[in-house]
């Protein structure tokens, strides 16, 4: 069979120049490996962001004081102090579809216990914060609703705080002093680790928001209100209702609050990693194209070197298409071989990177398949011109070539 | 004698340079089956151009060329390639073998592009048979670099013979060989011709032309002389004489 034997001829030519073939394919090998490694790292980062965002809870709407869409001087989230507990209660009572709601206070303070001290975050929350954040208490218990109502001096602490202050001792029932006010520890929170922003979520003390307002806060304003909606389809409507309600409560004054949903935050967070993945992939893609040009270059040299061989083949009856196929096969085999080696190298190096740096790496089958197909296409694209040059040679000229 | 090659007022004009070169100017020629013809002439007289036309590597600018009864002067590139593959065999001055490819594989090359598909086994056998015809059976697995010039030219002849061509064409086949090896190659040609193969060769050596049956002389693109060789040489006889002379030379030395 003419096709088969032509392919065999092409393969033999490559094998004969094994070192040169590998060097020629090196551009593609590195290009494909880079694409796969980059996309794997990008995907790993993206999935980590997504999972840490999911750990913040589902169907979450947050209300922040201040309005960054209004004109004039803009302070950003949480700089204006106009959000009140009454606003939070109004939302809970008047907006349909709200499952959980927690008015939030936040502060940092030096805390004392067991003769040690530690600087940490003090969060004032409702008990429903555990449901909202998909969190739990692993030892002891969460403070109760009654304790929230009475602004009791109780708290639950994160694992980091427990480790720093109690160093292995059981913290439950112990007393902890925040700004010299004693709080009784009722529970130890489950460990959540670091979040997307690199913040240690276990380095915290949660007290009832009422206690925070009454005993720690200098001014009676909330840092935010976090709301959990029934279903994702309800989000837009609830967001609108909250906006309308708060607007109404401000008697038509310029809005001094911002309502955001989790989706928007998640999109903003994943957008950066998506951009990063795209950018890294694009840079790697450029190296693939450079690899293709390398193949074209070597194929052109090869055609010139083998002008006489081409002349002989044409003289004994090869059609232009036979010669074209022969050289095109060489280019495609080079690039496919480069693609396959590049895939192995890419997967290997991304595993190594993940092992060494403890980064999450996600090898994407789409990237693997995509770069394989792309390298084959590069072979056809960059191999075609030299192959056609070979096929169009005049047999007499080619035979006379020195 | 039926004609295998029939040229009719064939012209070839090269238009590539500044001035057109009229390399072949109206050649009319008939060559019968089984003939052994030498084309001679000064350098630049158009021998190679005529040979390329006869070998279907090139098309006449004007005139007609009938090969084996059919007009091939107006065929396209691929049709000419098929004619070269099936009806013609080529031997070049520079041997033109593929390097790093064994003698047998070189001989098989035309079969790779043949329209009749043979199994690799049959291709193999055919190549060995062809090598046997030129007396090189024992060198089938040698590479060109391991063969002498005469042996390389024999491989080229075996390659030219593999598809059972109507005509064997050779452009200065002995041009790169010493005189004794040249005589050996002429011996191979004479032996093939005796088996009925038509041979057309270009040479500028008068004594080489005397091994052929018929001599054409070209000048300025025209055939100016067409004669039968009267005192034809036979290679076996000449080789015997050469060896005897060598022996006496050794004795007297
Ligand atoms: N490809 C070509 N383009 C232009 N002129 C050519 C070409 N090939 C040969 N010629 C010219 O045609 C003439 C005949 O050349 P050629 O057939 O090679 O002669 P010979 O083989 O008898 O030495 C010469 O004048 C040569 O310069
Ligand atoms: Mg010549």
Q: In sequence order, which residues have a C-beta less than 8 Å from that of residue A381 and are 6 or more positions away?
A: A292
Q: Express each pLDDT in B110-123 by its tens digit.
A: 999 998 888 889 99
Residues A122 and A248 in one domain: yes
Nearest-CA residue for ligand 1 atom 5 is B14
Q: Which residue among A232, A255, A278 closes a domain?
A: A255
Residues A117 and A187 in one domain: yes
Residues A144 and A172 in one domain: yes
pLDDT of residue A70: 44
Does the structure show a pLDDT above 70 at B192? yes
Residue A181: inside a domain? yes
Q: Express each pLDDT in B26-49 by its tens digit.
A: 999 999 999 999 999 999 999 999
| Per-residue pLDDT band at A145 (split at 50, 70, 90) | very high
Residue A65: inside a domain? no
Residues A303 and A388 in one domain: yes
Strand partners, A124: A105, A207
* Stretch (H or E) spanning B148: none
Q: Which residue among A226, A255, A284 closes a domain?
A: A255
Residues A41 and A146 in one domain: no
Q: Which residue among A255, A284, A316 closes a domain?
A: A255
Residue A198: inside a domain? yes
Q: For residue A353, what are the domain limits?
A: 2-52+270-400
**B172 CA distance to ligand 1 middle (Å):** 15
| Per-residue pLDDT band at A67 (split at 50, 70, 90) | low
Residues A25 and A86 in one domain: no
Q: Express each pLDDT in A153-197 by its tens digit.
A: 999 999 999 999 998 889 999 999 999 999 999 999 999 887 766
Terminal CA-CA length for chain A = 32
Q: Express each pLDDT in A236-275 by its tens digit.
A: 899 899 999 988 888 877 778 888 887 777 777 777 778 8
CB distance B85 to B113 below 8 Å: yes
What are the backbone dihedrals phi and psi of residue B90, each rounded to the nearest 5 degrees, phi first? -115, 140
* Contacts with A308 from chain B: Cβ below 8 Å: 96
Q: Express each pLDDT in A278-295 by its tens digit.
A: 888 788 788 888 888 888
Residues A117 and A226 in one domain: yes
Q: What is the mean pLDDT of residues A62-78?
A: 61
pLDDT of residue A68: 56
Does the structure show a pLDDT above 70 at B88? yes
Residues A286 and A393 in one domain: yes
Distance, CA of B24 to CA of B73 (rounded, Å): 15
Residues A211 and A136 in one domain: yes
Residue A70: inside a domain? no
Is B221 close to ligand 1, i.e. is its CB under 6 Å away? Answer: no
Question: What percent of chain A stands above pLDDT 90?
Answer: 42
Return the residue in B96, B119, B122 with the most chain A beta carbons within 10 A, the one to mutate for interface testing: B96
Residue A218: inside a domain? yes
pLDDT of residue A217: 85
Is B83 close to ligand 1, i.e. is its CB under 6 Å away? Answer: no
Q: What is the mean pLDDT of residues A330-345?
A: 92
Strand partners, A258: A64
Q: Comparing B209 with A292, which gets the higher pLDDT?
A: B209
**B172 CA distance to ligand 2 middle (Å):** 7
**B17 CA distance to ligand 1 middle (Å):** 11
Is B2 close to ligand 1, i.e. is its CB under 6 Å away? Answer: no
Residues A205 and A172 in one domain: yes
Q: What is the mean pLDDT of residues A111-116?
A: 90
CB distance A330 to A299 below 8 Å: yes
Residue A74: inside a domain? no
The CATH class, in words, for B3-252 is alpha beta
**B149 CA distance to ligand 2 middle (Å):** 19
| Per-residue pLDDT band at A5 (split at 50, 70, 90) | confident
Q: What is the mean pLDDT of chain B?
A: 93
* Contacts with A320 from chain B: Cβ below 8 Å: 77-78
* Lowest-pLDDT range of A18-27, A129-138, A265-274: A265-274
CB contact under 8 A, B117 and A312: no
Residues A286 and A378 in one domain: yes
Residue A289: inside a domain? yes
Q: How many domains does chain A have?
A: 2
pLDDT of residue A105: 92
Cα B206 to Cα A116, B179, B232, B233: the distances in Å are 116, 12, 12, 12
Does the structure show a pLDDT above 80 at A44? yes
Is B47 close to ligand 1, i.e. is its CB under 6 Å away? Answer: yes
A376 Cα to chain B: minimum distance (Å): 26
B60 Cα to chain A: minimum distance (Å): 14
Q: Comparing A289 with B84, which gets the higher pLDDT?
A: B84
Residues A201 and A297 in one domain: no
Q: What is the mean pLDDT of residues A32-48?
A: 85
Residue A383: inside a domain? yes
Size of interface A-B (CB pairs under 8 A): 55
């Amino acid at each position: 069979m003419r096709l088969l034997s032509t392919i065999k001829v092409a393969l033999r030519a490559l094998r004969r120049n094994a070192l040169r073939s590998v060097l020629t394919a090196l551009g593609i090998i590195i290009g494909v490996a880079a694409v796969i490694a980059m996309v794997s790292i990008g995907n790993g980062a993206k999935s980590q962001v997504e999972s840490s965002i999911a750990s913040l809870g589902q169907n979450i709407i947050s209300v922040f004081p201040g309005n960054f869409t209004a004109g004039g001087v803009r302070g950003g989230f949480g700089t204006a102090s106009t959000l009140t507990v009454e606003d939070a209660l109004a939302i809970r009572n008047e907006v349909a579809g709200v499952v959980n709601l927690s008015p939030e206070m936040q502060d940092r303070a030096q805390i004392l216990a067991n003769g040690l001290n530690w600087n940490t975050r003090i969060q004032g929350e409702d008990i429903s914060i555990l449901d909202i954040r998909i969190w739990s208490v692993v030892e002891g218990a969460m403070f109760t609703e009654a304790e929230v109502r009475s602004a009791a001096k109780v708290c639950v602490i994160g694992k980091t705080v427990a480790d720093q202050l109690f160093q292995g001792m059981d913290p439950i029932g112990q007393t902890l002093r925040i700004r010299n006010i004693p709080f009784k520890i009722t529970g130890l929170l489950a460990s959540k680790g670091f979040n997307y922003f690199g913040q240690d979520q276990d380095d915290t003390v949660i007290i009832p928001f009422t206690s925070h307002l009454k005993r720690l806060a200098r001014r009676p304003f909330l840092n935010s209100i976090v709301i959990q909606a029934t279903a994702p389809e309800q989000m837009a409507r609830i967001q609108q209702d909250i906006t309308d309600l708060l607007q109404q409560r401000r008697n038509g004054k310029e809005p001094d609050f911002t309502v955001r949903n989790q989706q928007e935050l998640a999109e903003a967070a994943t957008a950066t990693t998506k951009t990063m993945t795209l950018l890294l992939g694009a840079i790697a893609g450029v190296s693939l194209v450079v690899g293709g040009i390398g193949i074209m270059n070597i194929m052109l040299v090869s055609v010139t070197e083998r002008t006489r061989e081409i002349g002989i083949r044409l003289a004994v009856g090869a059609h232009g298409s036979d010669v074209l196929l022969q050289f095109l096969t060489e280019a495609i085999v080079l690039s496919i071989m480069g693609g396959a080696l590049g895939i192995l190298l890419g997967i290997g190096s991304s595993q190594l990177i993940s092992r060494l740096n403890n980064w999450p790496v996600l090898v994407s089958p789409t990237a693997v398949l995509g770069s394989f197909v792309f390298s084959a296409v590069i072979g056809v694209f960059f191999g075609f011109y030299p192959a056609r040059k070979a096929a169009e040679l005049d047999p007499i000229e080619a035979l006379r070539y020195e | 004698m039926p004609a295998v090659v029939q040229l009719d007022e064939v012209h070839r004009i090269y238009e590539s340079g500044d001035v057109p070169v009229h390399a072949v100017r109206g050649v009319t020629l008939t060559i019968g089956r089984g003939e052994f013809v030498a084309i001679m002439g000064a350098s630049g007289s158009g021998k190679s151009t005529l040979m390329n036309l006869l070998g279907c590597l090139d098309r006449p600018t004007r005139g007609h060329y009938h090969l084996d009864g059919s007009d091939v002067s107006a065929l396209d590139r691929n049709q000419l390639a098929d004619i070269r593959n099936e009806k013609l065999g080529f031997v070049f001055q520079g041997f033109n073998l593929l390097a790093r490819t064994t003698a047998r594989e070189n001989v098989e090359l035309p079969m790779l592009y043949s329209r009749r598909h043979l199994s690799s086994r049959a291709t193999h056998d055919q190549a060995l048979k062809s090598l046997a015809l030129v007396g090189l059976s024992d060198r089938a697995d040698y590479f060109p670099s391991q063969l002498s010039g005469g042996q390389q030219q024999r491989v080229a002849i075996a390659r030219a013979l593999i598809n059972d061509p109507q005509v064997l064409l050779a452009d200065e086949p002995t041009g790169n060989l010493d005189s004794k090896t040249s005589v050996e190659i002429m011996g191979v040609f004479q032996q093939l011709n005796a088996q009925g193969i038509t041979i057309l060769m270009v040479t500028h050596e008068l004594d080489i032309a005397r091994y052929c049956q018929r001599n054409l002389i070209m000048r300025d693109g025209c055939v100016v002389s067409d004669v039968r060789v009267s005192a034809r040489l036979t290679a076996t006889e000449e080789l015997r004489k050469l060896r005897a002379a060598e022996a006496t030379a050794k004795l007297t030395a």
